[in-house]
Amino acid sequence: MSPDVRPDLLSLTPDMLHQTLEEHFASRGQPGYRAGQVQKWIYEGLAHSIDEMTDLPASERAALVEVFRIDEPVADTVQRSEDGTVKHLWRLSDGELVESVLIPTERRLTLCISSQVGCAMGCTFCATGWGGFDRHLSAGEIAGQYRASRRWAEQHDYGAISNIVYMGMGEPLANRKAIHPSLTILNQGYGVGARRITVSTVGVVPGIVELANRPEQFKLALSLHAPSGELRRDLIPLEKRYPLPEVLAALERFDDGGGKRITFEYTMIDGVNDAPELIGPLGDLALRVRAFVNLIPFNPIPYQSWGPSKPNRIRDFEQGLAKRGVSVAVRETRGQDIDAACGQLRGHTLVQIDEKRART
């Protein structure tokens, strides 16, 4: 099947979408307000298809379909955890699979989205890293996870999505061509506040600088996982390309604008990165860039024998950091009964597909 070359309306930033639609309707002698009608269907109506845009004449809908498409991911699998966490495996138009996770808490509904199919970074603690890289997602495929998840959440009494984190499959800042427009689309198109959107990175320095230079107050989470380059290198191969001092220098370009914009993610792995002597250096780094520290008990993955740090070790880190004046929290592990460690659901599905193929 030849690829569909029609532009995906979901991949255009609101300004580009408006201009593109205005030009399209002008070329057909249609009034300018038609562009606004389509935009409303996309951002407010969350229309799956152009055919749903019933306030446009049928001839105009047919003309739009000839030129454009709406390429939203389709749910392949939905898993709901006992704790309310919901994991979607989305099938993209070329058959590739990506995951997103809805995480409800008392005051928030957070959506964790993917930015790539697989990941090239090869972090040793991550299921996606072990699976390798397939391709980048488009801006529309990234925003599409939000649209489809929002619709699901509304239909299942989960309420409104309050926060978005780019912490699913892939390294977002390795796909900046799509990440930047996707941030604009989520913020300006769907109205998600910049301070409610967090981009996570393992330390892609040029991407951190670009994000810091954007006028919006998007938040950044650095997957730190070790306070020294030597130890970090064993967990995150990218450390060799962008060593910790360079990453920290880039983080210093973030103006916190009165609120904490940087978070350190620190996955605590038993006997790997939880020695008490690491608390001091970790605290120093956090204070240097005014980062909030999330301590995350390691969620075991199929390819590793590692386990989470013991609860008393995690407590020592939490108290030790707090004593040094660092803002810190222990993040509970959510959705363990539904393969919630990133990349696991896709990994299992691919194994099942392979097994099925082998049987046929």
What CA–CA distance (Å, rounded) separates 139 from 168? 15
What CA–CA distance (Å, rounded) separates 308 from 313? 10
The token pair that represents 204 in the structure block = 């892609």
Distance in Å, CB of 350 to ligand SF4, minimum:
15
Instruction: Using the minimum distance from each CB to ligand SF4, give the nearer residue, 17 or 173.
Output: 173
Cβ–Cβ < 8 Å for 136, 178 = yes
Distance in Å, CB of 64 to ligand SF4, minimum:
36
What CA–CA distance (Å, rounded) separates 230 from 128? 23
Distance in Å, CB of 333 to ligand SF4, minimum:
16
Distance in Å, CB of 27 to ligand SF4, minimum:
43
Q: How many residues does the chain have?
A: 360
What CA–CA distance (Å, rounded) separates 345 from 269? 21
CA neighbor of 152 nearest in space, from 94, 97, 101: 101
Instruction: Using the minimum distance from each CB to ligand SF4, give the nearer residue, 119 or 205.
Output: 119
Does residue 342 carry a catalytic annotation?
yes
Instruction: Using the minimum distance from each CB to ligand SF4, give the nearer residue, 121 or 247.
Output: 121
What CA–CA distance (Å, rounded) separates 31 from 23? 11
Q: What phi and psi, each to the nearest 5 degrees, are found at residue 68?
A: -125, 165
Distance in Å, CB of 268 to ligand SF4, minimum:
15
Distance in Å, CB of 151 to ligand SF4, minimum:
25
Instruction: Using the minimum distance from each CB to ligand SF4, give the nearer residue, 119 or 165.
Output: 119
Spot the catalytic one: 60, 72, 99, 171. 99
The token pair that represents 251 in the structure block = 């983080």
Does residue 126 carry a catalytic annotation?
no
With CB atoms as reference, the residue minimizing the distance to ligand SF4 is: 129
Tell me which residue has tokens 């390819």.
Answer: 303
Spot the catalytic one: 119, 123, 126, 342. 342
Instruction: Using the minimum distance from each CB to ligand SF4, give the nearer residue, 39 or 175.
Output: 175
Instruction: Using the minimum distance from each CB to ligand SF4, give the nearer residue, 69 or 87.
Output: 87
Instruction: Using the minimum distance from each CB to ligand SF4, give the nearer residue, 39 or 115.
Output: 115
Q: What is the 3-state secondary structure (H, E, C) of 156-196?
A: CCCCCCCEEEECCCCCHHHCHHHHHHHHHHHHHHCCCCHHH
Kindly tell me the number of DSSP H helices and DSSP E strands found in the chain: 12, 12
Where on the chain is the footprint of ligand SF4 (CB under 6 A)?
Answer: 119, 121-123, 126, 128-129, 169-171, 202, 223, 342
Distance in Å, CB of 182 to ligand SF4, minimum:
16
Alpha-carbon distances, residue 58 vs 51, 55, 61, 70, 118 (angstroms): 8, 9, 5, 17, 40
Residue/partner pairs of 96-99 with CB below 8 Å, 24 or more apart? 96/134, 96/135, 97/346, 97/349, 97/350, 98/73, 98/137, 98/141, 98/145, 98/168, 98/169, 98/346, 99/168, 99/169, 99/342, 99/343, 99/345, 99/346
Which active-site residues does the annotation give?
99, 342
